[in-house]
Amino acid sequence: MARLGLISRIRRTGRLAEAVPERAGGGVPDLGGSVQVRHVDAGSCNGCEIEIGQAFSPVYDAERYGVRQVASPRHADALVVTGPVTRNMAGALRKTYEAAPRPCLVVALGDCARNCGVFAEGYGVAGAVSDVVPVDVEVPGCPPPPGEIVAALRGLSGR
Amino acid sequence: MNLVVTGLGAAVSVSGVAAVAAVVLPPRWRPGVVGAGMTLAGCAGAVAGGWALAGRTGHAVLPALLPLGTARIDVDALSGWFLLLVGAVAALVGVYTAGYVGRSGTGASSRTALAALPLFVAAMLVVPAAGSVSTLLAAWELMALCSLLLVVAEHAHAGRRGAAVRAAGVWYAAMTQAGFVVILLGLVWLAAACGGESFAALRDAAATVPGTVRSGVFVLTAAGFAAKAGMVPLHPWLPRAHAEAPGHVSALMSAAMVSLGAYGIVRVGFDLLGGGPSWWWVLLASGGAVSALYGILQAAVAVDLKKLLAFSTAENTGLILLAIGAGGLFADVGQPALAALAVAAGLLHALNHAAFKTLLFFAAGSVVHATGSRDLDTLGGLSRRMPLTTAAFGVAALCAAALPPGNGFVSEWLLAQSLIHALPPASTLNAIAAPVAVGVVALTAGIGVVTYVKALGTGFLARPRGARAAGAREAGPVMVIAMALAAAGCVLLAVAPGLTTPGLARTVTIAMGAPARGLAGGTAGLALPGVAAVYAPMLIVAGLVVLGVGVAVVVRLVGRPRRRAIAWGCGNGPQSERTEYTATSFAEPLERIFDDVLRPEHDVDVTHYAESAYIVERVRFRRRVPDRVEAHLYGPVRAAADRAGRAARVLAAGSVHHYLAYGLVALLIVLVAGVIR
């Protein structure tokens, strides 16, 4: 009986979710509510990686907004790039972008990805992500908190 | 003298002329003349076979040909089926030989090897046409001797290759002669019990022979014929001989000679003995089933292209023997129509196997010709360099994998139909055997797909894994023509299996005394009206073409423009061919799954630097899938023979006096035995 009461309460309450965020601007195409993401560590200190891990953890659960991480750029709609692009990773980043099907969105995640952060003008740094591949969305922060990462990804998926 | 006997006589005469020509002509002319002779002989044999399949018979008696006996030729539809098979294969191999053996005058183009080829063809044509025990045995022995000469054609090769050829020759000689001896014992026993040696006399008197003699004759002859068919556990000669023989010889042996083992069993078991108790056929069918499974498993993990094809031969003959065994079982439990269907499936599979295996060995031969390698792990990239050979191998692989619309599917489908419709079962044995057999056919077909995907994918596609594969060039025009003709044969059998049904029905009626149940054929396909089963390959082909063209058109119209991107290598530079799938790695999961059956051997050998046990200097990895049946069954036999041979050295002391005394003692024993009797 108690269980029945719970179910009817759920039905009465209906769906509770945050409002759909505003779609990321700047010519980002409609991906139909599903974004497959390939993460590229271009030379990060791993701070951003920990926060990405949190964003996909059960607490923030980015997957419920239609965002999935995939293991190959061949399957990806978007690349999430972290860290300043080091000289060793510049070629690999370019190849990853080349290997992904079009349209391929690029998310520069964290201050280092946006403008090299504290590593700017380091001897091993080739430049910011936008110096190597075209960037569509930027997520500021050092590192950006998981909530903001989720918000940025929701901007791509539109859910 | 009708067309059957004339055709057969022409085939044998042309073969004799070609053999003489091979001996007297200079090396420059030899391959062409011998090839043309084989093609002519093969065509004549096939015409004789076709005529016999159309319902004619042929008889000939040649009184003074064989010492101590009369040579009898007695051709009926069952002979005709195998005459057609052998003739067609020989005709194709003749064309291929002309382009394959080269003009060096050594190895495969040496005088002996080329003279043995047409004789081999003639012997194989006489075997199914033989009408008496002595004729059959003489032709059988000539066939064995010629094929042995051909297997060891490249024995003079330097190094390990030559040693492998010689070992294959010894294995083949020992097993084929042992097989001959048991066939001889069986048939002579039968002839003695029947009081006559012509097949007609045997057929008439066989019913009056006591059951133990009949069983003894069947077990002996079936063992000998099954050894020739490469049935496990009598198979160890097969992967060796097929792998080490030159390409055209492998094709002749695997496609034609091996089928004659099945012919022998059908002729003796059904036609001469008139069927027998269930246990004969269960024995045969279980041998066939084990052979099919073990053969295809070994083929799936083989890395040597020709060894893979050889084990696939063991698999296919296993299926043929399974079908024949099932036929005998059904006949014994009182389902003659179903029995005829099973035997028809087996005979049709023999023909289909001959068609695709000829083509497979042609393609494998031209790969060996072009690259000098049979190792799938070092091949690859041949689809760009040898497109026609690759296309030929692709057609044959589709047929051999028993996938529709290939021709292998037709006969395996018929076999499965006959086994499935053994329900409701007529006996407990039937109720257990038929479903198990269906499972065997299904598992064999499944692993067969893996095997041929591996052979085509790692052998021909992707990038070359070795320098020799990278430098490969397309086969010469004569070899390409031979492959095209063989491929046309496969396609014909695949899309119009109905063409074979009238001849097949006559053949089965000879063997079983009853026509196959409702096996109806037409130009469109096969139908089994009694059980509402229809197979229409034309429709499948049409469907595939429509689907393929439709998808291509839709992609062109709707799809986005194509963009060529790099091959993904995790961001690293262009991938080397070392990262490709190899035959070994492709089969590795299967090897793991069937670990208990195959028992692969892995050997990791790590060498450290003397200074530190933590720094590795060299790692050597070796993997081998040994033939367990051979090791466990033949190891002890070989060891015992070896011991006996060493012990018998005492007798061979090197003294002429001793040897003369032995001769005298043997003569006395024979005389005394004769007097006492």
pLDDT 10s digits, B351-403: 999 999 999 999 999 999 999 889 999 998 899 999 999 999 999 999 999 88
The Cα-based distances of B573 to A100, A104, B518, B581 in angstroms read 16, 21, 62, 18
Check whether B286 has a pLDDT greater than 90.
yes
Q: B643 Cβ partners below 8 Å, 6+ apart?
A: none
* Number of other residues whose CB lies within 10 A of the CB of residue B205: 16
For residue A111, is pLDDT > 90? Answer: yes
Instruction: For residue B572, list chain A residues with Cβ-Cβ distance below 8 A.
Output: 92
The residue type found at B551 is V
For the cut 60, the answer to whether the pLDDT of residue B522 exceeds it is: no
pLDDT score of A3 more than 70: no
Q: Nearest C-alpha of chain A: how many angstroms from B565?
A: 6
For range A10-21, the mean pLDDT = 78
Which tokens is B648 given? 């018998």
Residue B520's pLDDT band (cuts 50, 70, 90):
low
Contact A91 B571 (CB under 8 A): yes
Alpha helix segments (H runs only) across A56-145: 87-99, 111-115
Q: What is the distance in angstroms between the Cα of B559 and the nearest Cα belonging to chain A? A: 13
Q: How far apart are CA B368 and CA B245, in angstroms?
A: 11
Residue type, B328: G
A143 touching chain B per CB within 8 A: no
Tell whether the model's pLDDT for residue B677 goes beyond 90.
no
Report the pLDDT value the prediction gives residue B525, as an integer from 0 to 100. Answer: 65
**What is the average pLDDT score of chain A?**
89
Poorest-pLDDT segment among A110-124, B207-221, B392-406, B558-572? B558-572
Cβ neighbours of B575 in A, within 8 Å: none
Structure confidence at residue A97 as a pLDDT band (50, 70, 90): very high
Model pLDDT for residues B98-152, shown as the tens digit of each residue: 999 888 878 888 889 999 999 999 999 999 999 999 999 999 999 999 999 999 9
Interface check B612 vs A, CB under 8 A: no
Q: What is the nearest CA distance from A116 to chain B, expressed in angstroms?
A: 21
The rounded distance, in Å, linking the Cα atoms of B143 and B460 is: 34
Q: Is A99–B572 a contact, with Cβ atoms under 8 angstroms apart?
A: no
- Is a pLDDT exceeding 80 seen at residue A1? no
- Given a cut of 60, is residue B70 above it in pLDDT? yes
Selection from A9-13, B16-20, B608-612 with the highest mean pLDDT? B16-20
Q: What's the pLDDT at A12?
A: 86
Higher pLDDT, B275 or A39: A39
Instruction: ipTM value, please give it.
Output: 0.75
Chain B residues with CB inside 8 Å of A72's CB? 568
CB contact under 8 A, B571 and A98: no
Q: Is B572 on the interface with A (CB under 8 A)?
A: yes
Tokens of B319: 């299926």
Q: Which residue has tokens 């063989």?
A: B486
Transcribe B28-84 into DSSP letters. Answer: TTHHHHHHHHHHHHHHHHHHHHHHHHTT--EEEEEEEEETTEEEEEEE-HHHHHHHH
Verdict on whether the full-model pTM lies above 0.90: no
Q: Which chain B residue is nearest to residue A72, measuring alpha carbons? A: B570
- Residues β-bridged to residue A35: A67
Record: contact A73-B568, CB cut-off 8 A: yes
Helix pair angle (B428-460, B387-400), 10° resolution: 170
Q: What is the mean pLDDT of residues B248-271?
A: 94
Instruction: Report whether pLDDT(B183) > 90.
Output: yes
pLDDT at B105: 79
CB contact under 8 A, B571 and A72: no
- Out of A10-19, B199-208, B489-498, B616-625, pick the least confident: A10-19
How far does the CA of residue B463 sit from the closest CA of chain A (Å)?
A: 20
pLDDT band at A114 (very low <50, low <70, confident <90, very high): very high
- When mean pLDDT is compared across A116-120, A155-159, B183-187, B266-270, the lowest value belongs to A155-159
Rg of the Cα atoms in chain B: 26
The CA–CA distances, whole Å, from B33 to B24, B154, B498 equal 11, 21, 36
Tokens of B32: 């062409």
Q: Using an 8 Å Cβ cutoff, are B327 and B339 in contact?
A: yes
State the average pLDDT over residues B266-284. Answer: 92
Whether A102 and B563 lie within 8 Å, measured CB to CB: yes
pLDDT for the residue numbered B623: 85
How far A9 CA lies from chain B's nearest CA (Å)? Answer: 48
- pLDDT of B675 above 60: yes
Residue B516 has pLDDT above 80, yes or no: no
Exposed, middle or buried: residue B650 (CB in 10 Å: 0-12, 13-18, 19+)? exposed
Element (H, E) at B417: helix B407-420
Q: Is B614 on the interface with A (CB under 8 A)?
A: no
CA angle B574, B381, B456 (to 5 degrees): 125
3-state DSSP helix/strand/coil percent for chain A, to nearest 5? 40, 20, 40
Give pLDDT tens digits for B416-468.
988 888 766 667 888 888 889 999 999 999 999 999 999 999 999 988 988 88
SS3 B654: coil
Higher pLDDT, B607 or B1: B607
- Mutation test of the interface with chain B: which of A70, A98, A104, choosing the one with the most B Cβ atoms within 10 A? A98
CA distance A2 to chain B (A): 51
Restricting to A residues 100-119, those with a Cβ less than 8 Å away from any Cβ of B are 102
Q: Give per-residue pLDDT as tens, B291-338.
A: 999 999 999 999 999 999 999 999 999 999 999 999 999 888 888 888
Residue B568 touches chain A, beta carbons under 8 Å? yes
Question: Model confidence at B531, in pLDDT bands (50, 70, 90)?
Answer: low
Q: Is A61 on the interface with B (CB under 8 A)?
A: no
Residue B574 touches partner A, C-beta closer than 8 Å: no
Q: Which of A 70-89 lie inside 8 A of B, CB atoms?
A: 72-74, 89
- Phi first, then psi, for residue A81 (nearest 5°) are -110, 130
- Looking at residue A128, its pLDDT comes to 92
What is the pLDDT averaged over residues A65-72?
Answer: 92
Residue B160 has what pLDDT? 79
Q: Flag whether residue A98 sits within 8 Å of chain B, measured between CB atoms.
A: yes
Give B571's contacts in chain A (Cβ within 8 Å).
Answer: 89, 91-93, 95-96
Q: Which residues of A touch B559 (CB under 8 A)?
A: none
Report which residue type is found at B289: A
Instruction: Please report the pLDDT score of residue B518 as a whole number.
Output: 60
Is the pLDDT confidence value at B495 over 70?
A: yes
Nearest CA in chain B to A99: B565
Chain A contact present for B561, CB below 8 A: no
d(C-alpha A136, C-alpha A27), whole Å: 8
Distance from the Cα of A92 to chain B's closest Cα (Å) equals 4
- Tens digit of pLDDT for each residue in B548-576? 999 999 988 887 778 888 888 888 877 88
pLDDT of residue B663: 94
What is the pLDDT of chain B when averaged over all its residues?
90
Higher per-residue pLDDT: A9 or B521: A9
Q: B571: distance to nearest CA of chain A, Å? A: 4
pLDDT score for B170: 93
